[in-house]
Structure 1
Amino acid sequence: MKPAGAAAFLAGLVIMTGFVDAETRVSLLSFDDLEGWQADDHAAAFETFQNTCLDMDDPDWRAVCAYATSRPDPKAFFELLFRPVLIEDGDPMIFTGYFEPELTGSRVQTARFKYPIYAMPPEARDTKLWYSRRQILEGSMMQDRGLEIAWVDDPVELFFLQIQGSGRVNLPDGEKLRVGYAGANGHGYRSIGAELVRRGTYDPHQVSAEVIKNWVRRNPAEGRELLFHNASFVFFREVSEVPADKGPLGAMNRSVTPMRTIAVDPKHTPLGAPVWIEKAGQSPIRRLMIAQDTGSAIKGAQRADIFFGTGKEAGRAAGKLKDPGRMVVLLPIQRAYAMAPEDGL
């Protein structure tokens, strides 16, 4: 169904993104335009898509999700009910990676385990801007309140746990405690990797999570100050409802899937939508992923964070990733046509 003129196009943008930006450009593509589409494992993408599809409340999505329950051929399902839509805002595409860290810790404080993972104080929920990272860690506002979920043995790993937003803590008795994002203090995220580059410590191509961790550990006093450069502070909650063999909860409150889930900016990409990934770089990726998560650093129409899984190996792979390419959102046919400019059909 083709809408009439620019008014319908702008209406489609409002429905899709919640705002209209003069820099936003929408192009309707075909599946033949997607490099590597024929070779992908569409069944794996379809399984991930089903994990969150029924949670989507928009009428267009409810229709396709209802059909998904009939167990159609996965590739035919996507090709029949969706159209690829390229959404651009003028900024170049950047792919990065994220993972679920594993830390070593305890439910009780000890001489070894002395760095707390905090639950969110009630008063922090009632204000847009609460205390900074430095004030929280050097002040007394968190003391003697029972807000500690667990204690870990490494403040650097704890800092990166906050960047990832979820993780697992290996306890002394073999139990695994999973924690998930509960909220933040309202301060904007500031990259400590970018700060090291600004200082001239490293060139941009040298910076990775492991490089940063090693630098902080080699320079404990300066490293502590470097971590305070990021005033943002994340609070957690215990996520006991997710089995250890499943991925952490994403923004849709469902487990995310390694190499099939991406974090996106929901102002441009609907949560739950299939997204075709064409990542360039040393290890190209051509596959269908599902937008099931968000992140404070993920802003823009061409910006995505790929979920690599749990543990150190996943962390090393995710920490190295910063590549160009493009992402194409698959939208239900009527939604796609509503967004497409008249001369693009």
Structure 2
Amino acid sequence: MAAIVGMLAACGSVPLQEPTPVETPRGAAPPAAAVVPGTLAQPRARWVPVPWAELPGWGQDNLFEAWNAWIKSCEKPQAPLASLCSEVRRLSIGTPDEQRAWVQQRLQPYRVETLQGEATGLLTSYFEPVIEASRVPTAAFTVPLYQPPATLAQRKPWYTRQEIDTLPEAQAALKGRALAYMADPVDALVLQIQGSGRVRITQADGSQRWVRLAYAGTNDQPYRSVGRWLLDQGLVKDASWPGIKAWLAQNPGRQQELLWSNPRVVFFKEETLSDLEAGFGPRGAQGVALTPGRSIAVDPGSIPYGTPVWLASPGPQTSLQKLVLAQDTGSAIAGAVRADYFAGWGAEAGDLAGRLRQPLQMWVLWPK
């Protein structure tokens, strides 16, 4: 599957679960991999204690950039990470050496592994599109972006993408629910997959304003990658967004078929986008604004929200060795060593998000 799976899922926080020591009951068979003393367990991962020297690049990162994301996490902290927040805020004006010394004094690094002991996983990326839209339908802007229908809770799953486009009863349920209209249905799909976007809306009177369309729910249908659909049929070898759009340019008659291959539809809510809010990304599943290059989406069954994470990922698109914060999740972000890297917004971020798919290792930094 192409690296186009990131989707904000700010659909309610998942309670932080305290890691528990891994124990083998007397008389029971040992786990698949040997357990290191001090290993901590999460529902879908295990954390293995390691020395700081194991973290590749530790000591070279500019921790000041990560500190802004950490302070954001402290807006909605959970125990035991909450106890660190007064010190985190105080150290926001500290030197890099002071910040690094404090981290090593107060936190213990743990290598994140699967329950079977595998320490290498997958890193992809997501971003916030910047798009043009119209408040009312026009000859150029015909693709609606909807707020949740009033009947969403009464029918689970709700209508598929194809049914929304073709069934009179689905269209009746969405009448009057359009927030804005886009020009390109493929760009609308990208917005839905990413889960949020910065939108310059042209109003009915011709005036323009910037808003954020943020995730507000889905039709509860399964997410299916249009890139995977193309790969499975042998139609493309490059299932990045540039590759998908190149295929569509050569096969415009199959655009609707491609769109309908993903039955999931995302609904939006409109939010303000002040100058201050424009400096951060949308709110992730933790409920705090995301920081470009310092926020990741994770499986909360592997890493609780708000956890500082050392991330290492070598690859052809980018080489990352840096401190990030687990602040979001997504429908395709599942498993122990799995993360979606928030690249930011705009064309450059979109290019990285569309192509990034490379090996990943992670170490959580947990209070001693």
Normalising by the smaller structure, the TM-score range is 0.7 to 0.9
Whole-Å Cα distance in 1 between the matches of residues 312 and 38 of structure 2? 27
CA contact (8 A) 1:54 1:62 kept: no
What SS does the corresponding residue of 2:199 show, helix, strand or coil?
A: strand
Report 1:154-303 matches (<5 A): 154-172=184-202, 173-203=207-237, 206-240=238-272, 243-282=277-316, 283-303=318-338
Deviation at 1:12, TM superposition (A): 5.4
Whole-Å Cα distance in 2 between the matches of residues 42 and 111 of structure 1? 49
> Of 108, 112, 123, which residue of structure 2 is paired with 1:83?
108
Report 1:48-87 matches (<5 A): 48-58=69-79, 60-71=80-91, 73-87=98-112
What SS does the corresponding residue of 1:69 show, helix, strand or coil?
A: helix
Deviation at 1:128, TM superposition (A): 4.0
Unaligned runs of at least 5 residues, structure 1: 334-345
Q: Normalising by the residue count of structure 2, what TM-score does the alignment of the two structures yield?
A: 0.81
Deviation at 1:327, TM superposition (A): 1.3
Whole-Å Cα distance in 2 between the matches of residues 305 and 256 of structure 1? 12
1:104 equivalenced with 2:139 (yes/no)? no
Unaligned runs of at least 5 residues, structure 2: 1-19, 26-36
1:210 counterpart letter in structure 2 = P
**CA distance 1:12–1:326, change in 2 (3 Å):** closer
What SS does the corresponding residue of 2:151 show, helix, strand or coil?
A: helix
Deviation at 1:39, TM superposition (A): 0.4
1:125 counterpart letter in structure 2 = A
1:306 equivalenced with 2:341 (yes/no)? yes
1:145 counterpart letter in structure 2 = K
CA contact (8 A) 1:96 1:306 kept: yes
Residue aligning to 1:340: none
1:186 counterpart letter in structure 2 = D
Deviation digits for residues 120-178 of structure 1 (CA, Å, limit 9, x no counterpart): 11321355421111111222323463211111111000001010000012223342121
Residue aligning to 1:47: 68
Residue aligning to 1:134: 162
Q: Runs (4+) of structure 1 moved beyond 4 Å?
A: 7-12
> Of 48, 52, 61, which residue of structure 2 is paired with 1:31?
52
What SS does the corresponding residue of 1:215 show, helix, strand or coil?
A: helix
**CA distance 1:31–1:125, change in 2 (3 Å):** farther
Q: Normalising by the residue count of structure 1, what TM-score does the alignment of the two structures yield?
A: 0.86
Deviation at 1:274, TM superposition (A): 0.9
Whole-Å Cα distance in 2 between the matches of residues 195 and 10 of structure 1? 43
CA contact (8 A) 1:166 1:180 kept: yes
Whole-Å Cα distance in 2 between the matches of residues 236 and 230 of structure 1? 18
Deviation digits for residues 211-246 of structure 1 (CA, Å, limit 9, x no counterpart): 112323432331211121111111111122663333
CA contact (8 A) 1:176 1:244 kept: no
Q: CA RMSD in A?
A: 2.3
More helix by share: 1
What SS does the corresponding residue of 2:198 show, helix, strand or coil?
A: strand
Deviation at 1:331, TM superposition (A): 1.4
The alignment-based identity, stated in percent, is: 36
Structure 1 range deviating more: 110-119 or 65-74: 65-74
**CA distance 1:176–1:202, change in 2 (3 Å):** same
Deviation digits for residues 270-326 of structure 1 (CA, Å, limit 9, x no counterpart): 111111111011221110111111111111111111111111121011111000131
**CA distance 1:34–1:146, change in 2 (3 Å):** same
Whole-Å Cα distance in 1 between the matches of residues 101 and 38 of structure 2? 30
What SS does the corresponding residue of 1:230 show, helix, strand or coil?
A: coil
CA contact (8 A) 2:112 2:361 kept: no
Deviation digits for residues 51-102 of structure 1 (CA, Å, limit 9, x no counterpart): 12231222x1121123223225322232122111122225641111111011
Whole-Å Cα distance in 1 between the matches of residues 149 and 305 of structure 2? 28
> Of 123, 134, 146, which residue of structure 1 is paired with 2:176?
146
CA contact (8 A) 1:68 1:77 kept: no
Structure 1 range deviating more: 273-282 or 246-255: 246-255
**CA distance 1:234–1:194, change in 2 (3 Å):** same
**CA distance 1:234–1:10, change in 2 (3 Å):** farther
Deviation digits for residues 176-214 of structure 1 (CA, Å, limit 9, x no counterpart): 1210100111112111111211111122xx221121123
